[in-house]
Amino acid sequence: MTKYVVLFRGINVGGNKIVKMETLRTVLAVAGFGDVKTYVQSGNVILSSEQTARRVAEIIGEIFPRTFGFPSRVTIRTGDEWNAMVSKNAYPEALDNPKNLHAVIMDDDPTDAALVELASRASETEEFTVRNRVLYLYTPDGFGRSKMAEALDKVLKVPLTARNWRTVLTLQGMLAAI
């Protein structure tokens, strides 16, 4: 069995696209996934499966809209990929305030031009580093205030989802427990 982190995009944000985590856990378990656990209400799931990541995404892509009435794009990483992402953190100084560090997990590589454009939007205190389809985004003045964070989708133009470092570490702990 392979352990996976499944990240849903755009659910339970601002009272829209409501997904009850209990229902999501049940639907995923009925679909044959094991060890299904969720973290907070924003679509963070740990599960295990003998299926490939691609097949896990296909299964979820089939059952999610039937259950909830709308689609949600998922980003999937194996437990090993997740642990590698954590170990390659480019900003260990941010561990004192993990809400200022985000892992922007991308399904494709952005172009060099897109990364240059993103960098042009950074404030004096912000930085980012890209490693293995993860953009480590350090925003010491706050993610919500960051013009660079605000531009991620528009500028990078690749499927992505972001999680703060506290969530990243919590999910890593949950992976270790299954």
The domain spanning residue 160 has which CATH number? Answer: 3.30.70
Q: Which domain holds residue 131?
A: 88-176
pLDDT beneath 50, residues of the chain: none
The count of structural domains within the chain is 2
pLDDT at 96: 87
pLDDT at 65: 95
pLDDT at 11: 85
Residues 101, 43 share a domain: no
Residues 25, 53 share a domain: yes
pLDDT per residue over 54-80, tens digit each? 999 999 999 999 999 999 999 999 999
pLDDT per residue over 136-159, tens digit each? 999 999 998 999 999 999 999 999
pLDDT at 17: 87
Tokens of 123: 């404030």
Round to whole Å and give the CA distance between 128 and 161.
15
Round to whole Å and give the CA distance between 116 and 113.
5
Residues 171, 113 share a domain: yes
pLDDT at 97: 87
pLDDT at 147: 93
CA count, 13 A, side-chain hemisphere, 42: 9
